[in-house]
Structure 1
Amino acid sequence: MKKIVECVPNFSEGRNPETIEAIAQAIRETPDCRLLDVDPGASTNRTVYTFVGSPEAVVEGALAAARVARKRIDMRSHKGEHPRFGAMDVCPFIPVVGVTMEECVAIAKDFGRRAAEELQVPFFLYEEAAGHDYRRKLPDVRAGEYEGLAARLDDPRWSPDFGPAEFVPSWGATATGARKFLIAYNVNILGTSNQAHRIALNLREAGRGEDEPGRLKDVKGMGWYVDEYNLAQVTVNLNDYTVTPIHVLYEEVKKDAADLNVGVAGSEIVGVVPLEAILMAAEYYIEKENLFILDEDQKVRLAVERLGLNSVAPFHPEEKIVDYIVAEPPDEPLASLPVRGFIEEVASRSSAPGGGSVSALLAALGTGLGSMVGKLTFGVRKFEDLDAKMREIIPPLHTLSKELIPMIDADTNAFTEYMEGLRMPRDTEEQRADRSTKMQTGLKTAIRVPLKTMQLGDEAWEAMCEVARYGNPASKSDVQVGARALETGIWGAYQNVLINMGGIRDEAFKKEILAEAEGMMDRAKKKCAEVLAILDERG
């Protein structure tokens, strides 16, 4: 699995377009770094950059950006709404794919050490990379901001982790570390900065102090006025969106704004956001409003609309949701073929794709037809009394049809491990033993793949019976074809299990798999007959 790390450096410059672009270009030009977002703010006089890459690449990208900032940003003349203490104010590293938090801690330390040595400026470690508990929280590290930094550096407790323990007026200091995915989120208020700040104090975890904590955990926040938007904002960092999700923060702001007779005009996400956070919001509004939405793109659209994420700038999911940005096309060459291409490939002078891939396709088509009939029944006026039933029937068929699609290619790839074993040397006894072990493991893989197709198909039968019983009667033939296709897909996968079982020496494995497969095959025959009987009874 490819390792992907996110880096979100914040620079104390949001008004000079040449400097903002120069930093962005330094990141773009770093090999294996992908710049995802540049978010400047004139009022805050701060720009947030978001980029991803391999562990090695993000360190190089952050160094390249810091070099530009060292030349172009002078903190002696900096003013802005946002707390800050350095030209590169903060530079966190976040695990995205295939990377642990411990690895990101090592990355942050490597970056901090190298940047401090090269630029001769102080660097502090914070969050997961902090060496002391009192340095974990960024507000504690940045307390006193740039103006108080000279005095703070004289305190031995605040000696930097890397670089000189002396004030560098043009730079200040930088905090670098490793953290969970932080969501920078602003809710727009049609009121004053004071009103926005009052709401932020009510909600942020620190509240107004130890004696008056806020209502929401893992939230940092304040209120400010954004001149370019001509509105105030409750601006927060959601340090752990699984503890306090976006929608919870938004709804709580709405409550407090209503108490103050202040309007809320949507919100904005600064930088990028995990898909999970958006889908959590969608599921909240789906449940709250008793909606029925299955497709991911529609869930995303619902969340965007309910949270007002288009209010101050367009929210393009493909540019703002990190999962979409870093996603690579699925390795499904067969499933991605047009229908004609797939059939021609099956009909060609080649053993693959063969019966296993066709069986997976048939099973997917069977569940797909069941899903289709459910959707053609749901929401139709004369079948409104069945809407609750369709809400139960459709989701499993919808999901299973999608989960069966990858099995088309998985079956073709199932023999890779076996073929690798077949090609292994067999000159010595040890080599022959290793070869045999590899081939046996490969055969088990080749059995488990069609077995998985059977298992997925087997999960669909109850919903297929229900769609036969309650579905739109005009779609009777579609359910009939769906049931036969599903049964045939399961039967075909079963034959692939059997044909590969002959070479298995592990009798316990053989007994267990055959018992499960035979049970599913028997159930497929009975359930298909049940579906057809139900349809015949309905006429």
Structure 2
Amino acid sequence: MDFNNSNKKEKTKSMKQQSMLLCCKLYISEARNIAALEAIERAARQNPETVIVNKFKDCAYNRVGWTLVSYVGHDDTGNPIYSPLQQTVLAMAEAAYEAINLEFHLGAHPRLGVVDHICFHPLARASLEEAAWLAKLVAADIGSRLQVPVFLYEGAHPTGKPLDTIRRELGYYRPNYMGSQWVGWTLPDILSVKPDEGPTMVSQARGIAVIGASPWFATYNVPIMSTDVSATRRIARMVSARGGGLPTVQTLGLFHGEDSTEIACVLLEPNQVGADKVQNQVELLAAQEGLEVEKGYFTDFFPDIVVEKYLELVSVD
């Protein structure tokens, strides 16, 4: 046996895997049930080829986001045929549905399901088309095997339908409890909008999921030292592109704990309109309302750091 040739092939395979990476951001509607979160993370670690590079937990929002990375494998013609992320994300979703009941969920962040949002991003030399390929596979798995309605968006949707459009159609942005909280399932059990995968009948214990593929976005939250959520929402709207503010910025004004509110921002093109512009605009508008603003924070790393952490963790393993 030619061990040198074998080692060379393994090295080439490893180099390809490191340069063709996909990232999954997985958001679960739970942050207070430690046993449930541990079960989900055990499921994630069943496949050592998938790496958790970040976890962001917010108990006020009752929401956790995981950032997962792995490689994508191709056939001889260059078409994607395999990624460990597919089975890892499915295992995490299955564990989440077994451990969490949406009927008993209460939090200050909007959600439509236990597995609320899954987004795939290309990293390194991978493409958006490869991220979309994986998003559609995972959506089909969750829809058919776990019997949860799934709505696709952006790169995974046939017409590129935006995430916020789908959410608006489904009432995602409207609090259903005390004007500031989201609790249980209050939409009809039979959806009026046909999902892209899975049944039209919704389990109140599981809700629905939205799954998509997109270029990298950043999430940046700005604390407002006030419980006046109406004022925070006014500021949030004026900062957002939809409200005539900063282009490619989406915002939500939310309660965050007992003595503060927060503007949760999605920066769709963070290299063009970044956190500094958002922070400055929030501070300017808050001053007009007589409100104090704290320095904002990101809930995840940027792509180059995500890749760096993945490679470090893989080399350790």
Q: Deviations over 1:32-83 (max 9, x none)?
A: 1111122222221111111111231111211110010120111112222212
Aligned to 1:96: 123
2:48 counterpart of 1:28: no
What residue in structure 2 maps to residue 221 of structure 1? Answer: 251
In 2, Cα distance between equivalents of 1:149 and 1:46:
23
Check if 1:136 corresponds to 2:162: yes
Between Structure 1 and Structure 2, the one with more strand by share is 2
| Residues in 1 aligned to 2:282 and 2:197: alpha-carbon distance in whole angstroms | 40
Measured after TM superposition, the shift of residue 16 of structure 1 is: 0.7
SS of 1:202's equivalent? Answer: helix
Tell me the equivalent position of 2:280. Answer: 251
Residues in 2 aligned to 1:165 and 1:87: alpha-carbon distance in whole angstroms: 17
Aligned match for 1:202, one of 210, 216, 238: 238
Give the gaps of 5 or more residues in structure 2. 1-15, 73-82, 173-184
> Which amino acid counterpart does residue 147 of structure 1 have in structure 2?
T
> Which whole-Å deviations, capped at 9, do the CAs of 1:171-212 have from their partners, x for residues lacking one?
1111111011121110122223333222111111112xxxxx
| Structure-2 residue corresponding to 1:171 | 206
Work out the CA distance in 2 between the residues paired with 1:139 and 1:271: 24
SS at match of 1:249: helix
- Pair 1:76-2:60 in alignment: no
Equivalences for residues 304-343 of structure 1 within 5 A? 321-327=305-311
More relative contact order, 1 or 2 (CA 8 Å, 6+ apart) = 2
Corresponding letter in the other structure for 2:163: K
Partner-residue secondary structure (3-state), 2:276 = helix
Check the 8 A contact 1:104/1:178 in 2, yes or no: yes
SS at match of 2:290: coil
Q: Output one character per residue of 1:496-515: Cα deviation in whole Å (capped at 9) or x when no partner.
A: xxxxxxxxxxxxxxxxxxxx
Change over 3 Å in CA distance of 1:136–1:224 after alignment to 2:
closer
Q: Which of 148, 157, 162 lines up with 2:187 in the alignment?
A: 148
- Please list the CA deviations of residues 142-197 of structure 1 after superposition, one character each: whole Å capped at 9, or x if unmatched: 6224422535x1x3xx2111111212221111111101112111012222333322
Aligned pair in 2 of structure 1 residues 259, 223: CA closer, same or farther (>3 Å)?
A: same
What whole-Å deviation, never above 9, does each CA across 1:114-137 have from its counterpart, x for those lacking one? 22221122111112111245x422
Q: Distance in 1 between matches of 2:230 and 2:273?
A: 24
The structure having more radius of gyration, on CA atoms, is 1
CA distance in 1, matches of 2:97, 2:296: 33
Residue 216 of structure 2, aligned match among 159, 167, 181: 181
Distance 2:162 2:261 in 1: 30
- What secondary structure does 2:278 align onto? helix
Quote the sequence identity (%): 28
TM-superposed deviation, 1:110: 0.8
Asked whether the equivalents of residues 108 and 256 of structure 2 are also in contact (C-alpha less than 8 Å), the reply is: no
Runs (5+) with no aligned partner, structure 1: 208-213, 276-320, 330-539
Query: Which residue of the other structure, out of 86, 91, 114, is the alignment partner of 1:87?
Result: 114
Deviations 1:280-332 (A, max 9, x none): xxxxxxxxxxxxxxxxxxxxxxxxxxxxxxxxxxxxxxxxx424313459xxx
* Residue matched to 2:13: none
Aligned to 1:113: 140
Distance, in Å, in 1 between the alignment partners of 2:214 and 2:147 is 25
Determine the C-alpha separation between the residues in 2 that align with 1:48 and 1:260. 32
Q: Is the 8 A contact 1:86 1:173 kept in 2?
A: yes
The answer to whether the 8 Å contact 1:127/1:138 transfers is: no
What displacement does 1:227 show?
A: 1.2
The secondary structure found in structure 2 opposite 1:120 is coil
| TM-score after normalising by structure 1 | 0.48
Give CA-to-partner distance per residue, 1:257-296, whole Å, 9 cap, x none. Answer: 2222222221111122245xxxxxxxxxxxxxxxxxxxxx
Deviation, 1:248, is: 1.2
| TM-score (norm. length: structure 2) | 0.80
CA contact (8 A) 1:30 1:64 kept: no
Counterpart residue type for residue 63 of structure 2: R
Separation in 1, partners of 2:49, 2:271:
30
> Contact 1:121–1:168 (CA<8 Å) still a contact in 2?
yes
2:36 is matched with 19
The one-letter amino acid paired with 1:176 is I
- One-letter code aligned to 1:206: R
State the partner residue of 2:11: none
Deviations 1:232-262 (A, max 9, x none): 2111111221332121111111211222222
Provide the secondary structure at the position in 2 that maps to 1:116.
helix
Query: Which piece of structure 1 moves more, 1-10 or 139-148?
Result: 139-148
CA contact (8 A) 1:183 1:237 kept: yes
Q: Secondary structure at the match of 2:122?
A: strand
Q: CA offsets, 1:448-468, max 9 Å, x none? A: xxxxxxxxxxxxxxxxxxxxx
Instruction: String of CA shifts for 1:335-380, please: whole Å, max 9, x gaps.
Output: xxxxxxxxxxxxxxxxxxxxxxxxxxxxxxxxxxxxxxxxxxxxxx
In the alignment, which of 119, 140, 162 is matched to residue 197 of structure 2? 162
**Residues 357-409 of structure 1: per-residue CA shift (max 9 Å, x gap):** xxxxxxxxxxxxxxxxxxxxxxxxxxxxxxxxxxxxxxxxxxxxxxxxxxxxx
Deviations 1:407-446 (A, max 9, x none): xxxxxxxxxxxxxxxxxxxxxxxxxxxxxxxxxxxxxxxx
Task: State how far apart, in whole Å, the 2-side matches of 1:272 and 1:323 are.
Answer: 10
Aligned-partner Cα distance in 1 for 2:270–2:109 = 22
Matched-pair contact (CA < 8 Å) for 2:124–2:307: no
Length, aligned pairs only? 272
Q: Give the Cα–Cα distance (whole angstroms) in 1 for the partners of residues 43 and 114 of structure 2.
A: 16
One of 123, 127, 139 as aligned partner of 2:150: 123
Conserved 8 A contact 1:126-1:138: no
CA distance in 2, matches of 1:33, 1:70: 21
